[in-house]
Chains A and B, each alone.
Chain A
Amino acid sequence: MNGWLLAAAVTLGGGLTATLWGVTTGPLGRRVVAQNLATAVACPGLLLLSQAYERPAYVDLALVLAVLGPVGTLVFARLLSDELTGHPPRAWWPTWTAAALGTAVVLALCAVTAPGRATVKLLVTGALLVGGNVVAGRALTGGIRGVRGG
């Protein structure tokens, strides 16, 4: 049991429990925001797991999740837009908290890995994660049209 495994357990346990609580209670807008949060929490957790097991190939899972998680949220934002336009959810506090968590984890992992192509992969994963989350959060709060840029 090393420190990375402990950090992964705390991140996944705490973050995903909060996500589950959010996704099963409250109005629909809050549930969609919590679903977006699941990606933002699980992706840093998977990165921490790959460092804990010392298997750089496990970063692929985080990469795929960083790409496909916001796509899932955009599916909800598009198909639930009728229900969400009346009460647009407020997502800024959780979105930016999750973005800060992702940035912190990526920077910590970059600090311990030897500089090279692995660092580039980590940075791309982090950029996709934060960018995808901000875009998905904007789609939820401002409607799907706010993302298209007019």
Chain B
Amino acid sequence: MTRRSTRLAVAEVLAWWVALGGLWLAFINAVDTLELAVGAGAAGVAALAARAARRAVTGP
């Protein structure tokens, strides 16, 4: 794995994380610290899953 591909992978996961975290923020009822922490964790897991799904469909 070269440096460039590593940087691309990190950028993709970060983009998914931002998008999915924004979705979480739009869907919750009240914004507080606990919700933000749980949302950040869930968006991280979902971002990894989303990258895996994207790679399975369109290739690496």
Chain A residues packing against B (C-beta within 8 Å) = 57, 63, 117, 120-121, 124, 148-149
Hey, which chain A residues are within 8 Å of B58, CB to CB? Answer: 149
Hey, which chain A residues are within 8 Å of B45, CB to CB? Answer: none
Can you list 11 A-B contacts (CB < 8 A)? A57-B29, A63-B27, A117-B25, A117-B26, A117-B27, A120-B26, A121-B27, A124-B23, A124-B27, A148-B57, A149-B58
Cα-based distance from A101 to B27 in the complex (angstroms): 23
Over the window 37-60 of chain B, the binary record of Cβ atoms lying under 8 Å from chain A Cβ atoms (1 yes, 0 no) is 000000000000000000001100
Size bracket of the B interface: under 10
Closest to A59 in B: B27
Instruction: Please classify the interface of chain B as helix (H, G, I), strand (E, B), loop, or mixed, using the class held by over half of its residues.
Output: helix
Query: Inter-chain contact count A-B, CB under 8 Å?
Result: 13
Hey, which chain A residues are within 8 Å of B23, CB to CB? Answer: 124
Chain B residues packing against A (C-beta within 8 Å) = 23, 25-27, 29, 57-58
Hey, which chain B residues are within 8 Å of A121, CB to CB? Answer: 26-27
What distance in Å separates the Cβ of A47 from its nearest Cβ neighbour in chain B? 15
Cα-based distance from A148 to B27 in the complex (angstroms): 29
Additional 8 contacts, C-beta under 8 A, given A117-B25, A117-B27:
A57-B29, A63-B27, A117-B26, A121-B26, A121-B27, A124-B23, A124-B27, A148-B57
Hey, which chain A residues are within 8 Å of B27, CB to CB? Answer: 63, 117, 121, 124
Cα-based distance from A124 to B25 in the complex (angstroms): 13
Closest to A147 in B: B57
What distance in Å separates the Cβ of B50 from its nearest Cβ neighbour in chain A? 14
Closest to A119 in B: B26
What distance in Å separates the Cβ of A122 from its nearest Cβ neighbour in chain B? 10
Cα-based distance from A21 to B58 in the complex (angstroms): 38
Hey, which chain B residues are within 8 Å of A124, CB to CB? Answer: 23, 26-27
